[in-house]
Every structure is written in structure tokens, then in C-alpha cells.
Amino acid sequence: MAAPMSLLVEFGGGAELLFDGVKKHQVTLPCQPEPWDIRNLLKWIKQNLLKERPELFIQGDTVRPGILVLINDADWELMGELDYKLQDQDNVVFISTLHGG
Amino acid sequence: MVVCVALCMTVGPYSGNRLALIVSFPSCAEKCMKCKEASPVLVIRVGDAFCKACFREYFVHKFRAMLGKNRAIYPGEKVLLALSGGPASSSMLRQVQEVSAPQRSNSLHLASLVCYSEGAVCGQSLAERGDTLLQMETILQASRFPYHLAHLEEVFDLPSSILQHAPHNPTGPKNSYKEAVEGFIRQQRREEGGSPSLPERQIQEKLAEVSLRDVPGMEGLADPEARLLAAVRTEQLIRLFGSVKTLTAKEELLQTLRNHLILHTARTQGYSKVMMGESCTRLAVKLLTNLSLGRGASLAMDTGFSDDRHGDVVVVRPMREYSAKEIAFYNHLFGVPTVFTPALDTKALEKASIHRVIERFVYGLQAEFPSTVSTVYRTGEKLSVTPGDASPAAEPERCLLCLCALDTNVGKCKRCLPAPG
Ligand SMILES: [Zn+2]
Ligand SMILES: [Zn+2]
């Protein structure tokens, strides 16, 4: 049983437009039987934070190509991507590189 | 919004020495592949993981090496840096600042900035544009380079010389931009006797319809607030874009007008080089878009390191070997401020323009087959055309809007052939 955990979730590069223009979200994830990973977090974001056009953020069970994911300022490719097990106080950043100058 | 930073390289050319050789080998990603000590923070290519310090060194060095390798800037040459506030050009500004640091022997300084706003045609309200300008000015002031602001609306004041290969002839006809465009369209009609059928043709006609000499110029309005209130211009700009039917054509119109404004700024301020911050990801999108629009002829110039189509002002693209990912990480890790401004189609449907469909395709490629994107943009370098071959002595006839040489076999620019929706 995973305890509730607190995360700082950030959106940048224009991805924030899909979240009411808000860049920083201090979120608390509820208790659930299995541990929280990025895969679950994306589902949670889709249900709880995403305001419009989910297809611009999520594709299948992962992020849309062109959206970068950083976990505590490191590339999620180094952290196991969707399988990364979240820890309390983690910082997860999503940066859109689409339409970038 | 686009910002131009002008700067002057006063001491010595770049030297491209000491380029670190990045050796690729299977990595367990436990340690940085370069220093073999620190924990990596970023995967650049498959198996290449860098720590923060090594990534910074790699990134900064690549910029210096790019300029050095291409001998891009001569000592004392005045360079105009075109910035949009977006990630790639903001990152470019930071690189120029790195290179300009006083302790560097090769310094680029004595800079001045020009910033311009495209918010009007991208659906921004007056208040949003004001907010964007404020953010932009904060960045400009912090850069310590002198700057001024320009707006897309100012394209209506451009002289016809902007449409000439090199305006070395001051005694030439003093036509307006509008008259020059009209003349070009008349000539095209005479030559082919056909009907206009493509986005660029549409653009030329729309440009020709716009006469704005009865509207007070915006040059004197130094205050951004006052500029914003020049609502008539804005209205006309919006009408111009509104009258262009497809999003593909609107994208092309915006790129054309933006290029003209940058070129005009360079000429009036006396700069012979313009630096544009297009990443390799962006150039791959541009290259494939050009192919889809039937523009083989301008492909090399549109995507290469150096673009000399304008004659007196050469455009260089020092960010072309950086991927969008590298740029986004650099900006995030090293606190490079950017200003988000909506694109023409930020709120449009996914398949609304050729540019967008191709962008989606390229990002999909990048995700599944990471090495293919740099292969795509490097292809552009191998396709360079030498249009002078047919009549080496003569100055090639040039397309009005893109200024690439006309294809002598068909009598007109490939770029101006019919393009799909
Ligand atoms: Zn290292
Ligand atoms: Zn053309």
C-alpha cells in the first residue's frame, strides 16, 4: 500500500496551455494498492489536471513524441521512463518541444 | 515575436580547435560517458549520457566550433542575432553571451537588439501582447545588449529593395514594396497566362492588395504601449492573414514577412550577417515541408548553415546541429529564460497545415528512430544547387518572395509551382 505522496509537477514549452496556463502544480497523489510510477502518474494527470485536448499530451499510455520528461532534473530515459517509481517530494517536469523556435 | 541582437566581433575569428571527440560506446548509463565520474542527467544519443557539467561544456563548445568551422564571422564584423523568444533562439543568445564574456579572447560584443512581435496574427489579445512584450523586454534588458522593438505590422513600410537580391543600386526605382509585388504578379501572369493556383500566389495577391501609405508609420512610436495602440495596422495585418485561405499558406506568409523584416533590420542598421536560431529538428521539419511543397530549388538555402540569397546580408544558422531536446535541456538546466508565444495554429486542429503534419511525423521519427532526424537535415547539405550553371555570366533571375534563383528550365521558381492545400 503506497502512502499518499506529494509531488511538484511542472509543464513548460507551451505544454502549460493544456493545463489552464499554469506551469507549477503541487499535487498530492492518493494512497493506492500498487506503488506510484510515471505510467500511473500520467493517467492521474489525464484525469485530474489536463483541461483540454488530451491527445496533445498523451499518446497511448505515454507522452506524445516531442514532449520531454525530466525527473528531478534528469532525463527520464536514465530513470526507467514509465517504470520509474515515484518518491515523495519528487519533481517531474514536462517540456513540450513542439512548435519550438 | 522575434528579437534581433546585433553584435560586433572585435577580436579574432573563432577557432574550432579542441573539439572534444565524442566517442560512442555501449554505456550502462551509470556514469557520464565523458568524465566517467559524475552521474549523467541527459541522454543525447543512444548510449551517450552526459553529466550536467559535461553537457554544458559540450553545448557551449559546439557553438564555438560551428562558427569556427564555417569561418562564419570575420573579426570586427557586425552581426544581427534574430531571436523569437523561443527556446532555440534564446539558447543562441546565451551562447553569444558565453562567447562575449570579457575573459574570452574571441569576443562578440557591442551588441544592439531589435525585437518584434507577431502576436497580432497568432490570436493574442492586446493585453497578451503587452504581457509578452514585457517579458521580452525583461530578457532583453538583462542581456545588456542595446535593443529596440519592431512589430510584424512594420512590413507594410518596407521599401521595395527588400525584394531585390542586393540593394547596391541607390538610383533604382523608388517603388513601394506593394508596387514591386504587384509588378511581379503582373509579370508572372503575362509569362504563363494561367490562373493562380498556389499558396504563394495567393500571398502575393494579398500583399498587393494592401496599401498602407495612408496610415501613419509606426517608426516614431518608440513606446511599446503606443505601438500596441496602432490598431489600424494590426487590423490590416489580421485582415491580410484572414484573407489567406489555408493554414499552410498562412505559415508561408508569416515566414516570408518575418524574413523580410529581419533582412530590412539588418540592412538599415548596417549588418552583413544575421544569425538565426533554427535547431536541427526545426530544419528537418522545414526541409521535408519544402519537399512537400515542391521546393527542391530553395531547399539547400532554406536549411543550410549559410544562406546568401540576399547578396549583401548573409544568414547563418549556428544552432542547426542542436536537437530540440538538447536545447530544451540546456535552457532548463541553466535557467535560460524564454517567452512562450503562440504559433499561428496553436489552437488549430492537428492536421490543419502541412507544416504541422510533418512536424508530428519528424517527432515520431525522433522518438522511434533517434538517428534519422539528423540524417534528414544533413541531406539538405548534399542537395545544394548551382543555378548559375545554365548561364554562368548572367545574374540568375530570382523569385520575388523567397529570392531563390529561378529554375531556368521552367522559367519560374519551383517554390511557386502549385502546392497542395
Ligand atoms: Zn561528466
Ligand atoms: Zn520562390
The 3 state secondary structure assigned to A4-47 is CEEEEEEEECCHHHHHCCCCEEEEEECCECCCCEHHHHHHHHHH
Domains of chain A: 5-96 (3.10.20.30)
Residue B372: per-residue pLDDT: 79
Q: Which residue has the higher pLDDT, B68 or B351?
A: B68
As a whole number of angstroms, the distance between CA B100 and CA B63 comes to 12
Residues of chain B above pLDDT 70, percent: 59
Closest CA to A44 of A101, A79, A78, A92: A92
Q: Which residue has the higher pLDDT, B135 or B372?
A: B135
Q: Read off the C-alpha cell for B158.
A: 518596407
As a whole number of angstroms, the distance between CA B182 and CA B275 comes to 30
SS3 A91: strand
Question: How many Cα neighbours within 13 Å face the side chain of B76?
Answer: 0
As a whole number of angstroms, the distance between CA B270 and CA B78 comes to 8
Band (pLDDT 50/70/90 cuts) for residue B403 is low
DSSP E strands in B241-355: the ranges are 273-276, 306-307, 314-316
Rg from Cα positions in chain A: 13
Closest CA to B338 of A67, A20, A97, A18: A97
Residue A57: per-residue pLDDT: 92
Ligand 1 centroid–CA B49 distance in Å is: 9
In the sheet that holds A91-96, the strands lie side by side as A24-29, A5-12, A91-96, A67-71, A74-75
Among candidates A17, A65, A78 on the partner chain, residue whose Cβ is nearest the Cβ of B363: A65
Residues of chain A above pLDDT 90, percent: 69
Min Cα–Cα distance to chain B from A34, Å: 27
Rg from Cα positions in chain B: 22
As a whole number of angstroms, the distance between CA B379 and CA B370 comes to 16
Q: Which residue has the higher pLDDT, B384 or B130?
A: B130
Residue B244: per-residue pLDDT: 78
According to the per-residue pLDDT averaged within each range, which of A65-69, B13-17, B188-192, B241-245 is highest?
A65-69
Q: Which residue has the higher pLDDT, B227 or B211?
A: B227
Band (pLDDT 50/70/90 cuts) for residue B23 is very low
Ligand 1 centroid–CA B79 distance in Å is: 33
Min Cα–Cα distance to chain B from A3, Å: 28
What would the DSSP string read from start to end of B36-61? SSSPP-EEEETTEEE-HHHHHHHHHH
Contact B323, B281 (CB under 8 A): yes
Among candidates A17, A65, A70 on the partner chain, residue whose Cβ is nearest the Cβ of B367: A65
Q: Is A99 on the interface with B (CB under 8 A)?
A: yes
Chain A residues with CB-CB distance to B43 below 8 A:
75, 77-78
Grid look-up 518572395 returns B401
What pLDDT digit, counting tens, does each position of B174-204 carry? 455 666 655 555 555 555 444 444 555 555 5
Q: Read off the C-alpha cell for B162.
A: 527588400
- Dihedral of CA atoms B343, B348, B349, B350 in degrees, nearest 10, equals 0
Question: Which residues, including other chains, have CB under 8 Å from residue B370's CB and lie 6 or more apart?
Answer: B45, B46
What pLDDT digit, counting tens, does each position of A61-98 carry? 999 988 999 999 999 999 999 999 999 999 999 999 98
As a whole number of angstroms, the distance between CA B145 and CA B249 comes to 35
As a whole number of angstroms, the distance between CA B249 and CA B197 comes to 12
- Closest chain A CA to residue B338: A13
Average pLDDT (B47-68) is: 90
Residue A39: per-residue pLDDT: 95
Distances (CA, A) of B288 to A100, B367, B370: 17, 17, 17
CB contact under 8 A, A95 and B333: no
According to the per-residue pLDDT averaged within each range, which of A33-37, B123-127, B195-199, B344-348 is highest?
A33-37
Distances (CA, A) of B386 to B382, B389, B408: 12, 6, 11
Min Cα–Cα distance to chain A from B410, Å: 34
What pLDDT digit, counting tens, does each position of B223-237 carry? 655 555 567 778 878
Give ipTM to 2 decimals.
0.93
Ligand 2 centroid–CA B201 distance in Å is: 10
Counting one residue from chain A and one from chain B, the pairs whose CB atoms sit within 8 A come to 86
Closest CA to B130 of B1, B228, B230: B228
DSSP B305: S
Q: pTM score, two decimals? A: 0.78
Band (pLDDT 50/70/90 cuts) for residue B211 is very low
Contact B41, A73 (CB under 8 A): yes
